[in-house]
Amino acid sequence: MKRSRLSARERLSRNAAELQRLAIGLSESGGRLEDIFWESLLVSHTRTLIQDGAEEDLNAALDRLYESSPAACDELVDVVEAEVESCILEMDGKQYDIQLFAAPILVWSRYVIPSGSIGSASLVPIKTQLGAHVFSADVRLALADYLFSPDQLPHSYCDTWKLLQSLVKAAIKRSDFRLDGAQLPETFPFLSDVRYLLGVAMVPHGTPVFRWNESDGNRDTARSAWEKQGGANFAAFLTGCAYQLLLPNAYHFACRSADLESRAYAVKASIAFLQASQGLMPEELRAVIAPCYDQRLEEYRIGFAPRDQDHQVFHGVVWTLLGAEDEHSEVVPQIEAILCDCGVQDIVALEHRMPLEFCDDCGAPMFPTAEGDLVHAEMPEQNDAISQTLH
């Protein structure tokens, strides 16, 4: 997790300072009993702030702890994420556990990847497959009738909590949540991207949520069954696209998994794209990997061109560092292994630091050539292929 730096001189609000105190208490606790004491105070304070929409207090406490006490920061992240993505509901004298979940889909296309409304009739078979393969036997599901692009996911903890509330209301009525897409930001077109189906799973309190929580279930079976049986239900929305379903999971976890998996997927998509649009086979390509720095290493950029082109980049991919990854992480071997798997034999890994450079005109990232320059990715003009850049 990367957080912005908050000046040590900036004063924390009383609420943020209290969050910080409780999170530090929890992180320094010596036993389970003390954990429970701190955690219940931290949960109740966090819950009040979320219900009051006090996003700034949450972020201020997280930013401060990120610098001063990473262990306490992790504790607070856990509590905040749990509070906005799950709850216990009391209905007709019974208690239910509710989990906000995401079902991510990795997608690539030479055309614009769709996002937007899904008709409620189409949600029925999707729910059937989710119920059969991903969630436990006693689950009740409510979905948002929308395929979200990453830009359209809730932007804050408080917004995530509001979405949870809307979905809970739908679940109580045994219906789905009709989302007004007009309020959501537009989707920027990328060659390869992620789409998300969001929903809540509601189970009797204390019973399994997921299929793999049941004694005869397991995660791998759930994953392959969902991939196989769930996939066809998205064909109507994702026309002209290749796509791969990822295992649905708790909202924040699923989004982080999708971020991780989408990097390798984007590399594979680029190679397939160059083959489809330019007729370039993987063994005819050269891939150049460069580390790009701002204050620190931010990302790797991979430039693709035919092997005899030292000064050009036909297409590029950005490999963003995630979580705790930094310049000491074994990222380059990981990228090289994916390229090799795809049949690319000519791989150049540049070692010198490159700037995080973007095109002044269109804002697209610049990509490395084999000569070690950063250039604009350009497809040859005689081809009708669309020139798209992965970010």
Report the residue from 351, 362, 381, 384 that binds Zn ion according to the rule CB under 5 A: 362
For residue 132, how many other CB atoms are within 10 A of its CB?
15
Q: What sign has the CA pseudo-torsion 259, 187, 126, 107?
A: negative
Comparing CB distances to Zn ion, the nearer of 180 and 361 is 361
Per-residue b or e along 94-123, where b marks 16 or more CB atoms closer than 10 Å to that residue's CB: eebbbbbbbbbbbbbbbeebbbbebeeeeb
Of 12-20, 70-78, 219-227, 363-371, the window that binds Zn ion (rule: CB under 5 A) is 363-371
Instruction: Please say whether the beta carbons of 304 and 271 come within 8 A.
Output: yes
Comparing CB distances to Zn ion, the nearer of 137 and 386 is 386
Comparing CB distances to Zn ion, the nearer of 205 and 311 is 311
Q: What sign has the CA pseudo-torsion 207, 41, 162, 101?
A: negative
Rounded Cα distance, 25 and 35, in Å: 8
The verdict on 387 binding Zn ion (CB under 5 A) reads no
Comparing CB distances to Zn ion, the nearer of 225 and 385 is 385
Least Cβ distance, residue 337 to Zn ion (angstroms):
31
Report the residue from 92, 361, 381, 384 that binds Zn ion according to the rule CB under 5 A: 361
Least Cβ distance, residue 365 to Zn ion (angstroms):
10
Least Cβ distance, residue 381 to Zn ion (angstroms):
15
Comparing CB distances to Zn ion, the nearer of 126 and 366 is 366
Least Cβ distance, residue 360 to Zn ion (angstroms):
7
The verdict on 90 binding Zn ion (CB under 5 A) reads no
User: What single-letter amino acid sits at 212?
Assistant: W
SS3 (DSSP) at 21? helix
Least Cβ distance, residue 111 to Zn ion (angstroms):
21
Q: What sign has the CA pseudo-torsion 172, 245, 263, 314?
A: negative
Least Cβ distance, residue 361 to Zn ion (angstroms):
4
Comparing every residue's Cβ against Zn ion, the nearest one is 359
Comparing CB distances to Zn ion, the nearer of 272 and 359 is 359
Least Cβ distance, residue 189 to Zn ion (angstroms):
15
Of 232-240, 250-258, 354-362, 365-373, the window that binds Zn ion (rule: CB under 5 A) is 354-362
Instruction: Please say whether the beta carbons of 352 and 292 come within 8 A.
Output: no
Comparing CB distances to Zn ion, the nearer of 330 and 361 is 361
Least Cβ distance, residue 391 to Zn ion (angstroms):
12
Rounded Cα distance, 341 and 344, in Å: 7
User: What single-letter amino acid sits at 214?
Assistant: E
The verdict on 359 binding Zn ion (CB under 5 A) reads yes
SS3 (DSSP) at 218? coil
User: What single-letter amino acid sits at 360?
Assistant: D
Interface map 236-275 toward Zn ion (x if CB under 5 A):
----------------------------------------
Helix axis angle for 14-27 and 70-85, nearest 10°, is 110
Comparing CB distances to Zn ion, the nearer of 74 and 373 is 373
Phi then psi for 151, rounded to 5 degrees?
Answer: -65, -20
Comparing CB distances to Zn ion, the nearer of 8 and 362 is 362
By C-alpha distance, which of 191, 357, 367 is closest to 286?
Answer: 367
Least Cβ distance, residue 266 to Zn ion (angstroms):
19
Of 266-274, 311-319, 323-331, 360-368, the window that binds Zn ion (rule: CB under 5 A) is 360-368
Instruction: Please say whether the beta carbons of 198 and 148 come within 8 A.
Output: yes
Q: Give start and end residues of each alpha helix (H) in the chain.
A: 14-27, 32-51, 55-68, 70-85, 120-133, 157-172, 219-225, 231, 251-278, 331-341
Comparing CB distances to Zn ion, the nearer of 308 and 361 is 361
Least Cβ distance, residue 376 to Zn ion (angstroms):
5
Of 88-96, 184-192, 227-235, 355-363, the window that binds Zn ion (rule: CB under 5 A) is 355-363
Q: Which residues bind Zn ion (CB under 5 A)?
A: 359, 361-362, 364
